[in-house]
Amino acid sequence: GRGKYEEAVVVMEEAARLRPEDAGIHVRLAAVYDTMGDEEARLMHLRTGLEVDRANPVVNLELGKYHYKQGNLKRAGEYLARAVESDSQNARIRYAYAKLLFDTDMKDEAFEHAAWTAKKAPYNVDYLLLHAQAAEATGRREQAIAVTEQALTNETNNMALLKLAGMLYHEEGRLRDAKEWMQKAVSVDDGCGECYRVLGEIHLKENLYTRATSYLRLALDEIGYDERIAMMLGDGLRKSMEYDKARDVFEDVLSKNRSQNEARYYLVHFALLAGNVKQAKELVRKFDRSEKTMWHHLAAGELHEARKEMDAAMISYGVALRLKPECSEALSGFGRVNIARGEYEVAVENIGKAMVANPYNPYLTVDLGRAYEGMGNLASAIEFYKEVVKNYPQVSEAYYCLAGALSRMEKYRKAMSVINEGLSRCPHCPKLYMALGREYQRMAKHEDAVRAYHEAVRKGGESFIDAYMHIASIYANDLEDDKNAEKYFNKYLKAGGQKEKFKKQMAIVEE
């Protein structure tokens, strides 16, 4: 108990009084006071020991460790360097000095001392850990992994060691091993933000987006706001088709960094997916024109494409591709423009290249189906659409294209079933309401068709003004209501519709 220590202190203090030149007594007294929690008395004896024997390695070690804890690294370095000079064969001293050197960015010097201590005491996990950290910091990754694996045979509950193992394996591309050790790390300490970040990144690479976003949210909770992590979170949400949540993340990123062009591009992309060309145009205008990045050109390309400005879209995608060869977004943009121009074989080639760069993008599979459909291969197109519906049931475009293909094959009941399934999954998709209106119109369910077209405009805005044209044609040709026909024809023109296109549509209906 404490009484025993107090008795020992009395005896040792008397010995120190009788032999003031004996630094060893002051070292032992400092150790006892340390055990008793009396920091003031401990420091007094260490300083007295230093006065008696300035080169005493233990005194210098303890004073060095004290100043290290206080954050006075310069003073700590002076004491620890003197300790090493006095006793270079002491592993405790060399380890403390190596740790200080590592923390003051003297990585090469730290590595030499850490390697020596690890060799001297090959079962000491702390020594092995520092050796591995120094090896990694000085570009000796293979050695870092070997030392880490050696340490893991002795200890599997050291949080710093488990984290280092996960980091090293992740950097080596050994994702399974990295995941295993990072999961063990967070089981030891569930507050490791960096561990959650790496786990999120690994799951993104494995296309496990729900798990990835869960880990990335935990990383942000522990670390605080970090743009790189936030962008990965937005990417994971985007790839899992949670567009509203992804948009919120990218808007937050952009509010903190107005020059984050990738975030702005995705906001343009989401606006166009929702049919909001006006919002997309405003976002494109806010790109820094003095620094046109790949993201700026991609955004401009998608905007041109939405406005049917195909030549301009091709130019923008071409510039983006020059800035980043094999850019899947630019290649897929080429493919979509090729489809719009009827260049189906070229479209297949460009979409195929995009799929090599981004094999898990379901929209590329849909576009590939559209290209095959354009070439008259409806059977292959339908298989592509069905594949997306099965694996990515939240992708509304797949239902829209599948329903259209089935309708063209005169499989009307199946087409209607696909549209209804799509609307149950994607109730806000304007394209599906356009398809629903088309099917109702074909079935002569005119009032239902009008309601469906109205819903398409309500949900899709200015991108779906063709709905007004279809409503006008229903009133003119089927319901013989000239007043409403004129009303919706004028709405169509006011929204930017073309007279020639309307006349062509009317001619098709009359046939």
| Helix ranges restricted to H, 274-361 | 277-285, 294-306, 310-323, 328-340, 344-357
Point out the least confidently predicted range of 46-50, 112-116, 279-283. 46-50
Domain range spanning residue 438? 428-511
Among residues of the chain, what percentage have pLDDT more than 70?
Answer: 93
> What is the DSSP secondary structure assignment for residue 464, as one 8-state letter?
G
Asked if pLDDT for residue 497 goes beyond 50, the answer is yes
* Inter-residue long-range contacts of 298-304, CB under 8 Å, 24+ positions, other chains counted: 298/265, 298/327, 298/329, 298/330, 298/333, 299/264, 299/265, 299/268, 299/269, 301/330, 301/333, 302/268, 302/269, 302/272, 302/333, 303/268, 303/272, 303/277
Measured CA to CA, the distance from residue 412 to residue 398 in angstroms comes to 17
Measured CA to CA, the distance from residue 23 to residue 54 in angstroms comes to 9
Q: Collect all residues with Cβ–Cβ distance below 8 Å to 165 and sequence separation of at least 6.
A: 148, 149, 152, 177, 178, 181
CB 351 within 8 A of CB 331: yes
Tokens of 54: 């300035």
Maximum Cα–Cα distance for the chain, whole Å?
A: 121
CB 469 within 8 A of CB 495: no
| pLDDT at site 241 | 76
Tokens of 191: 């507050």
Residue 427, Cβ neighbours under 10 Å: how many? Answer: 12
Q: Pick from 241, 257, 273: which residue ends a domain?
A: 257
CATH number for the domain harbouring residue 234: 1.25.40.10
Residue 100: pLDDT band with limits 50, 70, 90: very high
In Å, how far are 183, 206, 376 from 199, measured between CA atoms? Answer: 8, 11, 45
Tokens of 504: 């062509």
Residue 239: pLDDT band with limits 50, 70, 90: confident
In a domain, residue 118? The reply is no
pLDDT in tens, 317-375: 999 999 999 899 999 999 999 999 999 999 999 999 999 988 888 999 999 999 999 99
In a domain, residue 446? The reply is yes
pLDDT in tens, 127-159: 999 999 999 999 999 999 999 999 999 887 899
Mean pLDDT of the 376-380 span: 95
Mean pLDDT of the 371-398 span: 94
* 93-107, 233-247, 497-511 — most confident range: 93-107
CB 401 within 8 A of CB 378: no
| pLDDT at site 462 | 72
Q: Pick from 233, 257, 281: which residue ends a domain?
A: 257
Asked if pLDDT for residue 6 goes beyond 70, the answer is no
Mean pLDDT of the chain: 90
CB 372 within 8 A of CB 340: no
pLDDT in tens, 434-464: 999 999 999 999 999 999 999 999 888 777 8
CB 165 within 8 A of CB 181: yes
Mean pLDDT of the 77-100 span: 94
Mean pLDDT of the 390-401 span: 92
Rounded (to 5) percent helix, strand, coil in the chain: 80, 0, 20
Query: What is the full DSSP assignment across 77-123?
Result: HHHHHHHHHH-TT-HHHHHHHHHHHHHTT-HHHHHHHHHHHHHHSTT
Among residues of the chain, what percentage have pLDDT more than 90?
Answer: 70
| pLDDT at site 19 | 76
Residue 253: pLDDT band with limits 50, 70, 90: very high
Point out the least confidently predicted range of 51-65, 149-163, 247-261, 336-350. 51-65
Asked if pLDDT for residue 18 goes beyond 70, the answer is no
| pLDDT at site 460 | 80
| Helix ranges restricted to H, 426-473 | 430-442, 446-460, 466-473
Q: Collect all residues with Cβ–Cβ distance below 8 Å to 126 and sequence separation of at least 6.
A: 95
In a domain, residue 198? The reply is yes
pLDDT in tens, 156-207: 789 999 999 999 999 999 999 999 999 999 999 999 999 999 999 999 988 8
In a domain, residue 96? The reply is no
| pLDDT at site 511 | 47
Measured CA to CA, the distance from residue 351 to residue 24 in angstroms comes to 78
CA atoms within 13 A on the CB side of 257: 15
Question: How many structural domains compose the chain?
Answer: 2
Mean pLDDT of the 10-33 span: 69
Measured CA to CA, the distance from residue 364 to residue 498 in angstroms comes to 30
Regarding pTM above 0.85, the answer is no
Asked if pLDDT for residue 102 goes beyond 70, the answer is yes
| pLDDT at site 258 | 93
In a domain, residue 301? The reply is no
| Residues counted in the chain | 511
Element (H, E) at 424: helix 412-425
In a domain, residue 497? The reply is yes
CB-count exposure of residue 196 (10 Å: 0-12, 13-18, 19+): buried
Rg of the chain over all Cα atoms, to the nearest angstrom: 35
In a domain, residue 454? The reply is yes
In a domain, residue 499? The reply is yes
Q: Pick from 257, 280, 310: which residue ends a domain?
A: 257
Mean pLDDT of the 56-76 span: 88
Q: Collect all residues with Cβ–Cβ distance below 8 Å to 274 and sequence separation of at least 6.
A: 460, 461
